[in-house]
A = this chain, B = another copy of it.
Amino acid sequence: MHRGSTGIALEPHPDRLLPSDPAERSIARRLYDSVRDLPLISPHGHVDPALLAQDTPFGDPAGLLVTPDHYVTRLLHAHGVPLHELGLRDRDGHTAAPREVWRAFCSHWRFFLGTASRQWLEGELHDVLGVTAHPSAATADALFDELTERLAKPGFRPRELYESFNIAVLATTDDPADDLRHHRALADDPSWRGRVVPTFRPDRYLDATHPGWPAALDRLAEASDVDTGSYRGTIAALEQRREFFRRHGATTTDHSAPDARMEFLPEAEASRLFDAVRSGEAGPGDGRLLSRHLLGEMARMSSEDGMVLALHTGVDRNHHEPTFSRYGRDTGHDIPLRAEFTQALKPMLRRFGTHPVFQTVLFTLDETVFSRELAPLAGFYPTVYLGAPWWFLDAPRAMRRFRDAVTETAGFHRSAGFIDDTRSFCSIPARHDTARRVDAAYLAGLVAEHVLTEDDAQEVLRDLTDRQPRKAFRL
């Protein structure tokens, strides 16, 4: 029995997440071993490109592992720790010192038992940062000092970690008005051998229901040097920025929308609607209709420039208004909604579902659509890829449910492989490692049930790790 309890040695088991049945486990081990050292493909995430461009050392463990990770802060908040005690700054400027934040985290460590975050954190702490004791109230201060010291040493700078993580390609998520200076700096730096590509994320320019939309268009005009006062101008500006992103390596546009519905209005109607909304004279529903049309325009542009349209829908953002107004966005209270794709995507797929250039990757937080809608869609439309289990579903059991739900209809080769979707740079290897273990375990189960041969499973696992993400995101 491998032991090691909270407060005692932190020593992730080499067979963690592999099946417990001995025969299945040995298959799973062999499968996992065949991909564990493959380079990491990260087609979607939220790492700040400045991190690598500037290669600034990380400071302290709270700023590295706690404050920026809303998976972590949200659960601590649920256990009664106010967000400003976790390093977030409220509108009055209150916040806590890193050491205090770290203590709060360590003393609540046991409440992460069973969560995906715990898996990742154990991987980061042990494998990346060399920690060998579990966080606890008792170990907090010593750990804080140990880690702060270690993070200042050679080997822990972002670029060094990028190399040691064996990342083949890392996609960031960027505002269309961004000048991509950090991506350009990296590209221009002869000492940099990695690949960091931007992703075109135009939500704020497409969301015509938002009060800040006209101001966003002004920024877009400035960035593109194209007048966004008209519908045609705005479309031209967006096309120009896509082109700019593409020139700097982008292959994907990424979209968070309330739902997957797109509209395809005649240009004259779109133009009238645009003018009405832009001038604040639109009727109810007009903003939403225009937003859906603009998302449809993104699909149309994808069918022309070949950028992959990644669609993340179905979240009620900033659910708790008092927290939003005190701490701002991305503070842990985005809550999923029921999803629907079959009817929502019909107008778009009618146009682009079998288009030779267009391609989309669909993500959901509502598991019910996996078997009901997404697998049937991806099992017919050559342009549709199944996005990995995302956000709250980016966890071992949920990943297994995803494979269970989609594979029998769509096989393995319509899925887009793993995305880490993280802001937390040091969690990248642990997240990919988790995904590889889970896929290896899943395939080992099929081998043990004689549904696949082990050779087939090995080929599939390699495809899921490497071929599928490259293909789905055109990397």
Contact status B408-A336, CB under 8 Å: no
Q: Which of B74, B321, B337 contacts A380 (CB 8 A)?
A: B74
Chain A residues 362 to 412 lying within 8 A of chain B, measured CB to CB, are 365-368, 371-373, 375-382, 384, 392-393, 395-398, 401, 404-405, 407-412
List of B residues within 8 angstroms of A375 by Cβ: 392
Considering only CB atoms and an 8 Å cut-off, how many residues of chain A contact the other chain? 99
Contact mask A302-346 → B, CB, 8 Å, 1/0?
Answer: 000000000000001001111100000000111111101011001
List of B residues within 8 angstroms of A20 by Cβ: 21, 23-24, 445, 448-449
Instruction: Pick from A18, A333, A378, A396 the residue with the most CB of B within 10 Å.
Output: A333
CB A459 to nearest CB in B, in angstroms, measures: 7
Contact status B24-A450, CB under 8 Å: no
CB nearest neighbor in B for A370: B367
Q: Which of B371, B377, B384, B411 contacts A113 (CB 8 A)?
A: B411
> A119 within 8 Å of B by Cβ?
yes
> A161 within 8 Å of B by Cβ?
no
Chain A residues 346 to 374 lying within 8 A of chain B, measured CB to CB, are 346, 349-350, 353-354, 365-368, 371-373
List of B residues within 8 angstroms of A18 by Cβ: 449-450
> A80 within 8 Å of B by Cβ?
yes
> A75 within 8 Å of B by Cβ?
yes
List of B residues within 8 angstroms of A22 by Cβ: 23
Q: Which of B1, B340, B450, B460 contacts A454 (CB 8 A)?
A: B1
> A451 within 8 Å of B by Cβ?
yes
CB nearest neighbor in B for A393: B371
> A452 within 8 Å of B by Cβ?
yes
Copies, count? 3
* Cα–Cα, bound, A263→B226 (Å): 47
Q: Which of B79, B338, B354, B450 contacts A13 (CB 8 A)?
A: B450
If A382-B78, A450-B17, A453-B4 touch, whether A411 touches B346 (CB-CB below 8 Å) is: no
List of B residues within 8 angstroms of A454 by Cβ: 1, 3
If A3-B455, A449-B17, A452-B113 touch, whether A320 touches B354 (CB-CB below 8 Å) is: yes
> A223 within 8 Å of B by Cβ?
no
Contact status A5-B368, CB under 8 Å: no
> A219 within 8 Å of B by Cβ?
no
If A338-B340, A342-B335, A372-B366 touch, whether A410 touches B452 (CB-CB below 8 Å) is: no
* Cα–Cα, bound, A302→B323 (Å): 21
Contact status A75-B410, CB under 8 Å: yes
CB A186 to nearest CB in B, in angstroms, measures: 34
CB A472 to nearest CB in B, in angstroms, measures: 13
Contact status A342-B350, CB under 8 Å: no
Contact status A350-B320, CB under 8 Å: yes
Contact mask A393-433 → B, CB, 8 Å, 1/0?
Answer: 10111100100110111111110000000000000000000
If A368-B366, A408-B395 touch, whether A380 touches B332 (CB-CB below 8 Å) is: yes
> A213 within 8 Å of B by Cβ?
no
If A115-B409, A332-B380, A453-B3 touch, whether A320 touches B349 (CB-CB below 8 Å) is: yes
- Chain A positions near chain B (C-beta within 8 angstroms): 1-6, 12-13, 15-24, 74-75, 77-80, 110-116, 119, 316, 319-323, 332-338, 340, 342-343, 346, 349-350, 353-354, 365-368, 371-373, 375-382, 384, 392-393, 395-398, 401, 404-405, 407-414, 445-446, 448-456, 459-460
20 example contacts (A-B, Cβ-Cβ < 8 A) are as follows A20-B445, A20-B448, A20-B449, A78-B378, A78-B380, A79-B382, A110-B456, A114-B446, A319-B349, A320-B353, A322-B350, A323-B354, A332-B380, A367-B368, A367-B371, A371-B392, A371-B398, A375-B392, A392-B409, A397-B405
